[in-house]
């Protein structure tokens, strides 16, 4: 059957179409998750700006990450909510390409920012004397800016490669939003070259920062283990444990979603994994950072005192 691919001018999200009884539970859960994400990340942004004890590169990166998480969730959840609440499950072709672009651009930037944060911890713990020079406020701003700009530019070509494919089999996306694997499934003709290109970009954007993070943490952990006092070890570890936890959750789910051969995709499994990195991780980040981090907790206490008087 050959249909003209120009006829695909919109897509329809199927969501969890096999389980329509889940719709109302999911709508409420997504709405709550979105509100918690916005509130938590806004709080991190406010507190790292307002409290002078948190005016360090580490919290500058954390603020940048929180800002990123707000953008990242705003790309997917509002559209998911309108499809669940208003039963409007369609998205235009351009809308889908735009959504995927921002999803990849912001996701890629998150990988880079997490790597920059690991490098920041590496310098702070392994080279504390050089920290003020190696991680000046100018350097940290440039590192953050580089993360945003590289991803912004490179992923444009990526999106162009995907959306110039022919879409002719169906316009039903078996997912909540325009993610790469479910959209690629609808492409017809020879998608081999594009799939390899996607894998290469994924390797570059997911794996390269991941290797940087691993190397940083290998150095950090060996330095911490060599510290003479237990108190010093505990203090050093506590400044990077929340970052380590956030990295593990983010990379665990991202790898499960993207670094898998096409044949091993199960649609419902993929959707659940996608919920982890699109909804759960951005919501957990501020919680991880504020509950596990003494400086943030103290800053929160100071802020609430100021607000009361
Ligand atoms: C994040 O970093 C970029 C680049 O340095 C900067 O322009 C932007 O203002 C930062 N965002 C926040 C919320 O700190």
Give the integer Cα–Cα distance in Å for 2 and 160: 23
Helix residue ranges per DSSP H, the chain: 23-50, 57-85, 93-126, 131-134, 137-163, 180-184, 192-202, 208-226, 230-258, 267-275, 281-292, 294-308
pLDDT at residue number 153: 87
User: CA torsion angle for 47, 52, 57, 58 (degrees, to 10)?
Assistant: -50
Angle at 180 between CA 176 and CA 184, to 5 degrees: 105
**pTM of structure:** 0.88
Say what percent of the chain tops pLDDT 70: 94
Contact call for residues 247 and 65 (beta carbons, < 8 A):
no
* Residue of the CA atom closest to atom 6 of ligand 1: 145
CA–centroid distance, 144 to ligand 1, in Å, is: 7
CA distance 174 to 140: 40
Q: For residues 276-290, give the mean pLDDT.
A: 86
Nearest to 59 by CA among 283, 243, 282, 248: 243
- The string of pLDDT tens digits covering residues 26-43 is 889 999 999 999 999 999
Mean pLDDT on 132-142: 93
Atom number in ligand 1 closest to CA 45:
13
CA of 20 to the centre of ligand 1 (A): 41
Residue nearest to ligand 1 atom 8, measured at CA = 64
C-beta of 67 in contact with ligand 1 (< 6 A): yes
Distances (CA, A) of 14 to 32, 83, 258: 22, 9, 20
Digit-coded pLDDT (tens) for 256-277: 776 666 555 677 777 888 888 8
CA gap 285, 276 in Å, rounded: 12
Distance CA 206, CA 2 (A): 36
Domains and CATH numbers, the chain: 5-308 (1.20.1070.10)
- Residue 263 confidence (pLDDT): 57
Query: Could you tell me the distance, in angstroms and rounded to a whole number, from the CA of residue 67 to the centre of ligand 1?
Result: 8
From 260, 67, 39, select the one nearest 147 (Cα to Cα).
Answer: 67
**Probe target for ligand 1 pocket from 145, 146, 152, 286, with the most ligand atoms within 8 Å of CB:** 145
């Amino acid at each position: 059957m050959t249909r003209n691919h120009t006829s695909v001018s919109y897509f329809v999200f199927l969501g969890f179409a096999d389980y329509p009884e889940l719709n109302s539970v999911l709508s409420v859960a997504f709405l709550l998750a979105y509100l918690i994400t916005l509130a938590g990340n806004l709080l991190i942004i406010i507190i790292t700006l307002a409290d002078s004890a948190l005016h360090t590169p580490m919290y500058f990166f954390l603020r940048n990450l929180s800002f990123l998480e707000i953008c990242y969730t705003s790309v997917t959840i509002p559209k998911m909510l309108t499809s669940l609440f208003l039963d409007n499950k369609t998205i235009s072709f351009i809308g889908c390409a735009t959504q995927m672009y921002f999803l990849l651009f912001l996701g890629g930037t998150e990988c880079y920012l997490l790597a920059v944060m690991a490098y920041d911890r590496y310098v702070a713990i392994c080279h504390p004397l050089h920290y003020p020079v190696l991680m000046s406020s100018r350097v940290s701003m440039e590192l953050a800016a580089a993360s945003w700009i590289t991803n912004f530019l490179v992923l444009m070509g990526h999106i162009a490669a995907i959306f110039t494919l022919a879409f002719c089999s169906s316009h039903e996306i078996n997912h909540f939003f325009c993610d790469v694997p479910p959209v690629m499934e609808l492409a017809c003709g020879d998608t081999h070259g594009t799939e390899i290109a996607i894998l290469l970009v994924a390797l570059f954007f997911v794996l390269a920062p991941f290797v940087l993070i691993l190397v940083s943490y290998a150095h950090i952990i060996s330095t911490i283990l060599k510290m003479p006092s237990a108190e010093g070890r505990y203090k050093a570890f506590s400044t990077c444990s929340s970052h380590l936890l956030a990295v593990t959750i983010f990379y665990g789910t991202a790898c499960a979603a993207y670094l898998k051969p096409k044949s091993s995709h199960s649609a419902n499994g993929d959707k659940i994994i996608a919920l982890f990195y699109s909804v759960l991780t951005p919501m957990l980040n501020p919680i991880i950072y504020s509950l596990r981090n003494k400086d943030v907790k103290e800053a929160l206490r100071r802020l609430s005192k100021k607000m009361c008087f």
